[in-house]
């Protein structure tokens, strides 16, 4: 089977945890998997794991550092050169950092890695998704979105910062982005949905800073494996039952009501516009730097 005949899935953050489990499972279901990974050694290891787990599996990797918008743009361009279309985009990568750090683009790292770079990547690949008979975008959010806040004057913690608040906000932004994107994609064959994978036993969970690490250990009795946590993303990527479902929030492969007082149509549109402004500023800085 040629690469163009298999459904093509690009996954960020696929070298460990939920992303790795998702990649392996979808390869077994006949998807051509493209790993977007910062660590090339880990990407090669996952490629080997997939090859061993799925007979006839086709898997590729493209280097990316989501802390760099320039690198994110290169990822999209490389994908467009290699593949004729994109059937499934899974924006899975995420970090939970112990403090405030800035990327080379001047944004707080959690905000950029968890949200802004995925906003950019998705928009850069929309034309490739439209070439699919049924393009699907799956954004990893989290139930912690519920305590996230949208402050248009403090999107990435420049005025006021907290570790949990910034992480929760990034997951709220992914939910708001998903819903706004679904509206903008109405009438096309491309859908967008958000996922809460559950309380997952991952390295990120136990690397959480301070009191949050203690909470991670306390939540162990309620936590699930990466393989179980990946089931909702797998379902949204592969099930015909959701081929036309868009703008929804899923937990345990079921539509779930999501409520946050900041998640309004007006704020979603404003977040979109502010995100575009941030990207335009970044492009200007890149041009200035030569």
Please identify every residue annotated as catalytic: 167
CA within 13 Å, CB half, 230: 22
Cα separations in angstroms, 94 against 57, 105, 241: 26, 18, 27
- Whether 22 contacts 233, CB under 8 Å: yes
Residue with tokens 């998704």: 129
CA angle 93, 80, 94 (to 5 degrees): 5
Estimate to the nearest angstrom the gap between the alpha carbon of 60 and the chain centroid: 18
What are the strands, taking DSSP E only, across the chain? 8-12, 32-37, 59-63, 88-91, 135-140, 190-196, 249-251, 254-255
DSSP per-residue codes, 4-66: TTS-EEEEES-SSHHHHHHHHHHHHTTPEEEEEES-HHHHHHHHHHHHHHSTT--EEEEE--T
CA within 13 Å, CB half, 11: 33
- Whether 105 contacts 118, CB under 8 Å: no
CA within 13 Å, CB half, 169: 23
Closest residue by Cα to residue 144 from 92, 82, 212? 212
């Amino acid at each position: 089977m040629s690469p163009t005949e298999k459904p093509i899935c690009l996954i960020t953050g696929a070298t460990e945890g939920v992303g790795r489990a998702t990649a392996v499972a979808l390869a077994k279901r006949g998807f051509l998997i493209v790993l977007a990974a910062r660590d090339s050694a880990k990407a090669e290891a996952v490629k080997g794991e997939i090859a061993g787990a799925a007979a006839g599996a086709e898997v590729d990797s493209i280097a990316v550092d989501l802390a760099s918008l320039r690198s994110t743009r290169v990822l999209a361009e490389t994908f467009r050169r290699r593949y004729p279309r994109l059937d499934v985009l899974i924006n899975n990568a995420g970090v939970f950092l112990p403090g405030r750090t800035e990327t080379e683009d001047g944004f707080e790292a959690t905000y950029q890695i968890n949200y802004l770079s995925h906003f950019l990547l998705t928009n850069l690949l929309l034309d490739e998704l439209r070439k699919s008979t049924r393009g699907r975008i799956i954004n990893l959010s989290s139930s912690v979105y519920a305590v996230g806040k949208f402050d248009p004057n403090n999107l990435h913690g420049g005025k006021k910062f907290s570790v949990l608040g910034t992480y929760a906000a990034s997951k709220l932004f992914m939910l708001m982005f998903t819903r706004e994107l679904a509206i903008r994609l109405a009438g096309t064959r491309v859908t967008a949905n958000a996922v809460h994978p559950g309380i997952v036993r991952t390295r990120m969970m136990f690397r959480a800073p301070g009191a949050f690490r203690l909470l991670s250990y306390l939540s162990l009795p309620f936590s699930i494996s990466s393989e179980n946590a990946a089931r909702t993303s797998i379902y949204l990527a592969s099930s015909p039952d959701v081929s036309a479902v868009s703008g929804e929030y899923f937990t345990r492969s079921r539509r779930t009501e999501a409520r946050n007082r900041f998640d309004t149509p007006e704020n979603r549109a404003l977040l979109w516009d502010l995100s575009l402004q941030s990207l335009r500023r970044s492009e200007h800085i890149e041009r200035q730097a030569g």
